[in-house]
Copies of this chain bind each other. A is one copy, B any other.
Amino acid sequence: MKTAIEEILKNIELATDYIEESTISNFLDVITKSNNIFVIGAGRSGLVAKAFAMRLMHLGIGTYVVGETISPAISEDDSILAISGSGETNTIVSAVRIAKDRGSKVLVLTSYPESTLGSLADSILLVKGRTKVDIDNEDYIKRQIDGNYTSLTPLGTAFELTSLIFLDGLISELMHKMGKTENDLKNRHTVLE
């Protein structure tokens, strides 16, 4: 288990090298200027989207999860943040297209900037998933040859975990930029559970 965890952490560290300051700056800009941030993702990427939305709410930023009960019509003053490793998930591409047509800004986390979702984005946060990272990392390829590679981060695991940690990094930046303390977040945290 520790081997798997080390592998996951190495993945995320490697992916961090690809973060560009200008992208972070764009993301922060769109998030703080939008009326509401709508988040969307499928499967475990959808859970990552929710984890991010919860912290945005704690920060006092208007946010909605696509598909939850009280999400209203999106408008041109809102933005949508979509999370998809492949950048081709049907339901997400379809929703993002509608949002873009209504004038909303589009933020995308994906491993494939050249995907359909990438082509719709105003700003793309590149999250190197397993495939791409391999190329930069010889140890990975060796392990893949040994045949036990994919069981360390099966399916979208590397993409999902890296996305979540990147977005938590973004929350930290937002706290700093907005002058918010942990106590401000705590005051907005649900008390009914």
Which A residues contact B (CB, under 8 angstroms)? 1-6, 8-9, 12-13, 16, 19, 24, 38, 40, 42-44, 47, 50-51, 53-58, 63-74, 89-91, 94-95, 98-99, 102, 148, 150-155, 157, 160-161, 164-166, 168-173, 175-176, 180-182, 185-193
Contact = CB atoms under 8 A, between A and B. Distances in A.
A74 B43 CA distance: 15
Consensus secondary structure, chain A interface: helix
A40 B70 CA distance: 13
B51 A187 contact: no
B185 A155 contact: yes
Contacts of A2: 16, 19, 169
B42 A69 contact: no
Nearest to A189: B73
Contacts of A192: 38, 40, 66, 71, 74, 95, 98-99
Contacts of A65: 68-70
Contacts of A160: 51
A169 B53 contact: no
Contacts of A90: 94, 193
B166 A164 contact: no
Given A47-B51, A89-B193, A185-B155, A12 B5 contact: yes
Given A65-B69, A192-B74, A186 B155 contact: yes
A134 B178 CA distance: 26
B164 A152 contact: no
A149 B152 CA distance: 31
B54 A44 contact: yes
Nearest to A171: B154
Contact of A94 (B68, B91, B165): B91
